[in-house]
Structure 1
């Protein structure tokens, strides 16, 4: 999994000189006056005399006096308004690096203009690098079918900075983001449940993360009954059979935080017996974005190896197929935690997979140091409807008391991986209440979440109950912070789940919060 390596330059004059090792200079700035280098200013203003686009849009200039003879000026627009954030720089970096690539550059240098005196832009250079890597990523199928070095030719991205930059941390994050994009964005046969597990095993080979894969049908039926029910119609097809992937990282030194993450890995979602119609099945190979993000974050930990952190992840890689053995609405299935779940709609399958994973992680949390639990999933259209392209963090009481969601949002803003916090209410628990003594909880209603009131909150209430986490509220002897992370709106760029690039959200936000720099 090659990707552009980050390298810091502290001497700008040497870095931009024609005899340097860089072959393009990319300048990201609000305007020419904010560029603190007379040579670059002179070059840009000279071209501005013959090209009125300069300063209004991203432009490539032929400049023999700079490295590689290529100078790209990408205006970032206003950075002074209340609504402006570091994504202005990320957007400009994406356009500029693609232009440099098309011009033949393989080792461009990023240079930032002056920034507002605000903490909002403290990581602007690193965000520009991550954005460039995002723009340059090509799908796994393309890299395997074509010449990878031709479709991803850029090898190194230079970062001009007068201050130190932790490139090891930055590349560890990008390694995780790249794995997340590969796992999420790959078509359902190439990344079927067994292939998903194999790709994880390959990614974590000889790393600081231990990998265990459960494939035995009898064990899955016994220990992950809800997950197995979702997979039931796929079990007779060997290449579609379910997998549970367990990843464990233990940092050196005394453990200060234990992270327990459940990832929804629906490798293809037909909707099951409640079949998706009217073309809504297209893009459902990306319903594994939550699992992909969890695996990506774990790889970032493996690469950087922070001290004092322990992380355990369980990923459910499952195909929600339609067939003669498909599970159906009205079935009552006990969860791993012993909660009798009445199925309301088979297209609400992700919460069933997550509930069993969370129940196992809950058992790990009982003996862990400072545990925090997360479920990460492309779960509801309502999250996208409510928050657009932002990750939704839905907290239980203990997580809210620990300010978990707000801290992730604050750091996500600084790192270009933004989110919004949400909270559980009594209506959410009431929504999934049992309607008779025959069951303990209803999995869902039978309507689209996007038009259901509190459509992204009530699934978190279901997960609390079905996994047994409702026994660990603030009033209990052992409160357990739990945050449900819905990336249905943030998991791909632009909201096109069939064609857009996976964003790898919320890998960067998680790394910023729980992977302290050395």
Structure 2
């Protein structure tokens, strides 16, 4: 499986007969302590004033003799959320691993009876797994068994181990695909990883890698890929993932940005800003991760179809340049404003494909997921930005995703699409239908993460499916540029696997 399995127990006493070798206690130590550990904790506090203030290991009469105290601090303030439990559990899990534990038990206590903490134990397990995850390159070079030494994690609570593991499996796929360096995860190898991840599963994988077919069906994507065509190992592809529910009541149509390396193209990134651009495939990685959870949960009523555009934005004589006018799959003529605004181009073609077939599916909802703009990171910090169109707003899709993110530790914030965004990308002459971007960085552009959603709406033909149309299609653009890696460190930070948990919690868990 590659990550710690989940062993669910009804209470701590059941663990006494198990083979756990450490206990991690997570909670606010200023509140009533769990009865089974109160004496040990109080004795430790007499000797060490750090108890309850920082994570510590103390000797105690518990399985393995190791009691790890992982304080969360207050959980009652207006601005507190369940992520603090994930972080404390992760810190405790690392201490347990470093101490030699391979089968720790997680005990979460003192959680307020509030909706935002409704999945606290599940989030604690995922937080521990996040902390224990090691990069794919490291596992392949040094051996998975040598690095990931925790084989299972016990959790006390009313939980479903299958659900916990399905979400974590999806998160692991997302981390691997997002975080792996650009040669190991070049487009053909990205596709190969997906084929292996979904082998013998109900998810059908189709890899479109014929250059002529791609040029015909995905012209904007192939403009981005043009300078990479001379290098065989960098050749682009579209990875299509399909899960058909037995009794579909809803269909998610998802486009994922998979730029395996973004040099900026002809508008080359300078001043050290190219470092970390192997993670510009985080959107496609997150969609593939969610599909892994779908494959394991096999929902009866939710179908999912995803297209991932997997491309390298290279520099060279064949690179596309600003001022070019390229007709996309939708028939919309796009004037290139800046070649570093490449992700929206491939997303437009992917969304156009999904839009054109949406009528085949039951209750379709469209999503684009991407590490798209520095502005999203600046405006939202570590939160995913959700930008809905009119039908999505009417159907409360972003509200539901926001709520799921709060409960499952994968938070987001909602932005709105406005008339200024559509005016920003309007054509200046009749030579084209839309402008892809301005010339400046998104982070210094007013509404820099909102106006790309307007571009995508028009360039994908979704402007014909608004609330004022005969065939409205709900569409949400999901920008994970601020939330995709821990601490906003795109070169060294560990991928967060967003938005796997929020989508899984919203659409798969009832």
RMSD: 0.9
Question: Equivalent residues in 2 for 1:93-132 (5 A)?
Answer: 93-132=89-128
Counterpart contact for 1:490–1:505, Cα < 8 Å: yes
- Match of residue 52 from structure 1: 49
The answer as to 2:365 corresponding to 1:365 is no
- SS of 1:439's partner is coil
Within the candidate set 77, 83, 88, 2:79 is matched to: 83
- Match of residue 473 from structure 1: 466
Closer/same/farther in 2, CA of residues 32 and 67 from structure 1, 3 Å limit: farther
- Match of residue 179 from structure 1: 173
- Match of residue 20 from structure 1: 18
Between the aligned partners of 1:96 and 1:60, the Cα distance in structure 2 is 9
- 4+ residue stretches of structure 1 with deviation over 3 A? none
Alignment gaps of 5+ in structure 1? none
Between the aligned partners of 1:31 and 1:203, the Cα distance in structure 2 is 41
- Match of residue 405 from structure 1: 398
Between the aligned partners of 1:322 and 1:401, the Cα distance in structure 2 is 43
Counterpart contact for 1:306–1:516, Cα < 8 Å: no
After superposition, give the CA deviation of every residue in 1:204-259 in whole Å (9 maximum; x if it has no partner).
0010100000010000000000000000000110000001000000122x211000
TM-score normalised to the size of structure 2?
0.99
Counterpart contact for 1:381–1:449, Cα < 8 Å: yes
The answer as to 2:156 corresponding to 1:160 is yes
After superposition, give the CA deviation of every residue in 1:407-448 in whole Å (9 maximum; x if it has no partner).
111110011100001111100000000000100000000000
**Shift of residue 33 of structure 1?**
4.5
After superposition, give the CA deviation of every residue in 1:281-326 in whole Å (9 maximum; x if it has no partner).
0000000000000000011000110111111000000000000100
- Match of residue 245 from structure 1: 239
Give the length in aligned residue pairs. 510
After superposition, give the CA deviation of every residue in 1:453-488 in whole Å (9 maximum; x if it has no partner).
000000000000001011001111100000000000
- Match of residue 389 from structure 1: 382
**Shift of residue 137 of structure 1?**
0.5
- SS of 2:372's partner is coil
Between the aligned partners of 1:49 and 1:503, the Cα distance in structure 2 is 38
Between the aligned partners of 2:11 and 2:472, the Cα distance in structure 1 is 52
The answer as to 2:199 corresponding to 1:205 is yes
- SS of 1:423's partner is coil
Within the candidate set 63, 68, 93, 2:64 is matched to: 68
- SS of 2:310's partner is strand
Alignment gaps of 5+ in structure 2? none
The answer as to 2:445 corresponding to 1:452 is yes
**Shift of residue 516 of structure 1?**
3.0
- Match of residue 419 from structure 1: 412
- Match of residue 277 from structure 1: 270
**Shift of residue 123 of structure 1?**
0.6
The answer as to 2:222 corresponding to 1:225 is no
Between the aligned partners of 2:446 and 2:168, the Cα distance in structure 1 is 36
Between the aligned partners of 1:92 and 1:511, the Cα distance in structure 2 is 23
Within the candidate set 294, 298, 303, 2:287 is matched to: 294
- Match of residue 430 from structure 1: 423
Between the aligned partners of 1:33 and 1:43, the Cα distance in structure 2 is 15
TM-score normalised to the size of structure 1?
0.97
